[in-house]
């Protein structure tokens, strides 16, 4: 079992946690706009995703890293699309732009 599935194994300093906005360490893999948290048993099962299982209600605090395998979310195509889109991926884009002082 990798460290991405064992949040207690890595100590994220409070300064780093404040910058990236998370308190636990876990990875989420997204494929075709469906995300599969690696900390969930059987996360490779395509029927277990954030939409039909209710995962990721608080992605800012529960997730350390998102990895998109294919395709990139259309909400993140460019800054204008991020600003005009809705949903979790658009929220992530706005969050990053805000933290970077660009919004």
Query: pLDDT by residue (tens digit) across 28-60?
Result: 999 999 999 887 788 888 888 888 888 888 888
Give the residue extent of every domain in the chain: 1-71, 72-103
pLDDT at 21 over 50: no
Phi, psi of 27 (to 5 degrees): -115, 145
Mean pLDDT score across all residues of the chain: 79
d(CA 42, CA 83): 34
pLDDT score for 91: 95
| pLDDT value of position 49 | 86
The torsion defined by the Cα of 44, 50, 51 and 53, in degrees rounded to 10, comes to 80
pLDDT tens, residue by residue, 59-91: 888 788 899 999 999 999 999 999 999 999 999
């Amino acid at each position: 079992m990798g460290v991405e599935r064992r949040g207690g194994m890595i100590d994220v300093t409070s300064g780093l946690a404040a910058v990236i906005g998370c308190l636990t360490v876990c990875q989420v893999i997204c494929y075709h706009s469906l995300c599969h948290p690696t900390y969930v048993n059987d996360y490779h099962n395509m029927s277990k995703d954030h939409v039909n299982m209710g995962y990721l209600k608080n992605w800012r605090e529960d997730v350390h890293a998102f990895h998109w395998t294919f395709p990139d979310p259309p909400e993140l195509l460019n800054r204008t699309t991020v600003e005009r889109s809705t949903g979790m991926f658009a929220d992530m884009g706005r969050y990053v732009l805000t933290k970077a002082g660009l919004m």
